[in-house]
Amino acid sequence: MGKTKVIVGLGSCGLAAGAGKVYDAIKQIKEEKGLDFELKKTSCIGMCFREPLVEVVDGKGSYIYGEIDVAKAAEILEKHIQGADPIKDYVVQTELFDTKDKNFFEGQVKIALRNCGYIDPESIEEYEAREGYDALKRIAAEKIQSVDIIQNVLDSGIRGRGGGGFPTGLKWRFAYNNKADVKYIICNADEGDPGAFMDRSVLEGDPHSVLEGMTIGAYAIQACEGWIYCRAEYPLAIKRLNIAIDQARAKGYLGKNILGIEGFDFDIHIKEGAGAFVCGEETALMASIEGERGMPRKRPPFPAESGLWKRPTNINNVETFANIPWIINHGAPEYAKYGTAKSKGTKVFALTGKINNGGLVEVPMGITIKDVIFKLGGGIINDKKFKAVQLGGPSGGCIPDYLSDTVVDYDSVNATGAIMGSGGMVVMDETTCMVDMARFFLDFTKKESCGKCTFCRIGTQRMLEILERITKGEGKATDIDTLIELSNQIKDSSLCGLGQTAPNPVLTTIKYFRDEYEAHIRDKKCPAKSCKPLLTYEIITDKCTGCLLCKKVCAVNAISGERKMPHLIDQSLCTKCGSCYTKCKFAAISLT
């Protein structure tokens, strides 16, 4: 039996919740009391809704403790480490007994996230202990040819885990077939939707898997240099990437004649981006690496023919590269056994919004959206009614509740009008206004437009103006048709994926929630009671006790009335802040 381990999750999510203080407290108590256990660091475990997380691994098994502060950490050390008595009330996951969050891990299949939460991301030895660099070593030892690696990736069925879902092996073959002397390979770690949380978590928690995947890809297409394009707003990811790159160079996994493969010279550099959403588009990304403004370029030529510095270039995202070593180690058939006919393997999702269990999950393709939300995600906060899910990030689409049996694969999701994207899944409940949701996402894409295309630059602005008018109760009967017309023009006329997909939130909300648009325009009402300009607060005289509480919290003195007498709201003064509605203890204020 090995020494007991205490592992603290120190990803960005954990650090933001106070995990750094918990780690320091555990370290101090360990030293002061001379406790005999191994204190270790890891990154995001996935259960972001229970951060900070502390895992204890003893002779009986593993116990993950959730929502741990300094006081609870001290109690765990006293009772579990010293007294061998786990504190069941704090445990959120273990195989030894049932916990309230057990469903979060049931149904997950971790391939891209196989090491996240299990290893110290700053230790190459811990990565190596879990099959790390075994795939690269096998390629060197068995002298596997580029064409065979590419065929293996093709047979696995993996498609790019970014926005387009293009077959990865086919992309690699295009680059390989271009017999240029200099080729490049790029990891796109700059996708700016909620799925970027996934990219960041992998880079923070398992950077070597991305480096190994890129190196295998470089060998397959015969590239000599690689770049990881990562936004500067991810300092922890960049720090750990730099550590991993230095470690890989020191051990011969990067550099000249890698692992004794004569002529295989490959190194990786980091390019810190400024956080522009458009640089998630591959040609804009390459322009940024070259020192130019991040703006998309016309295709063809495609990157496999003329990419970075007009050399053949292959670009995949973080999740795609993280899968590659596993596929080489375990074989294409093992990977392909997960998923559907045209969408193989697993997919990582960043669950957020009105959901109980927000965090990072990896599920096999073919699972239904409903199962992701209600089994792994634990359902909707406060048991409210599930209304829709935004899939694919700001440029994705909204899928309504009655289509929640849609399976997670590229074709099924695309058929709804949404896109898979890089894995953002924003859950909405009955209090979400779909018109305002469309406005929110369009405001983002409008601001992130590089301005190169007239339809994207101006069209998104005109659409945003219409949506803002509608949410203020100033909509016109022709607005819906105008939004549809503008959407189609922007999709057809924009140069890159940002413009081509920017109208998706609008088109899908009109398709599935047209009645909400009509209510805003025709009735000047928001069915979700979310758009403040369309709300009316009124006091129900039969329920009002005259307690004066609502009158006291009204900042503009819009409420009048004497003690123990029904009050009245002056609609001409009411700013619709909602303070009275929130503070009333007798449900005496109606909201319509």
Q: What is the DSSP letter of 52?
A: S
Percentage, residues of the chain above pLDDT 70: 99
Q: How many angstroms separate the CA atoms of 411 and 220, rounded?
A: 28
Does 353 share its domain with 320? no
Average pLDDT over residues 323-347: 97
Of the residues 463, 497, 523, which one is the last residue of a structural domain?
A: 523
In a domain, 139, yes or no: yes
pLDDT of residue 194: 47
Of the candidates 160, 155, 188, the residue with the CA atom closest to the CA atom of residue 328: 155
Does 155 share its domain with 217? yes
In a domain, 452, yes or no: yes
pLDDT of residue 191: 62
Does 223 share its domain with 247? yes
Confidence band of 275 (pLDDT split at 50, 70, 90): confident
In a domain, 114, yes or no: no
Supply 437's token pair: 């949701």
Does 516 share its domain with 476? yes
Residue 255 in this model has a pLDDT that exceeds 70: yes
In a domain, 530, yes or no: no
Does 156 share its domain with 275? yes
Which CATH number covers residue 548? 3.30.70.20
Residue 195 in this model has a pLDDT that exceeds 60: no
Window from 192-201, 259-268, 404-413 with minimum mean pLDDT: 192-201
Q: How many angstroms separate the CA atoms of 585 and 413, rounded?
A: 44
pLDDT of residue 107: 87
- What's the domain range around 357? 346-429
Window from 39-53, 183-197, 219-233, 244-258 with minimum mean pLDDT: 183-197
Q: How many angstroms separate the CA atoms of 355 and 175, rounded?
A: 42
Which CATH number covers residue 494? 1.20.1440.230
Does 133 share its domain with 184? yes
Does 282 share its domain with 423? no
pLDDT of residue 192: 55
Does 269 share its domain with 152? yes
Average pLDDT over residues 96-103: 91
Confidence band of 330 (pLDDT split at 50, 70, 90): very high
Which CATH number covers residue 56? 3.40.30.10
Please return the burial class of 478, using the count of CB atoms within 10 Å of its CB with bins 0-12, 13-18 and 19+.
exposed
Does 485 share its domain with 515? yes
Average pLDDT over residues 326-338: 98
Does 288 share its domain with 244? yes
Residue 302 in this model has a pLDDT that exceeds 90: yes
Gyration radius of the chain's alpha carbons: 27
- The pLDDT tens digits of the residues spanning 522-555 come to 999 999 999 999 999 999 999 999 999 999 999 9
Does 171 share its domain with 283? yes
Does 508 share its domain with 489? yes
In a domain, 109, yes or no: no
- The pLDDT tens digits of the residues spanning 25-81 come to 999 999 999 999 999 999 999 999 999 999 999 999 999 999 999 999 999 999 999
pLDDT of residue 271: 96
**How many angstroms from the chain centroid is the CA of residue 310?**
31
Confidence band of 198 (pLDDT split at 50, 70, 90): confident
Domain count, the chain: 5
Helices (H), 451-577: 454, 460-471, 479-493, 497-501, 504-518, 549-553
- Per-chain mean pLDDT for the chain: 94
Instruction: Using alpha carbons, list the distances in angstroms from residue 322 to 20, 35, 113, 217, 476.
Output: 27, 37, 8, 11, 49
Which CATH number covers residue 413? 3.10.20.600
Confidence band of 106 (pLDDT split at 50, 70, 90): confident
Q: How many angstroms separate the CA atoms of 561 and 589, rounded?
A: 14
pLDDT of residue 193: 53
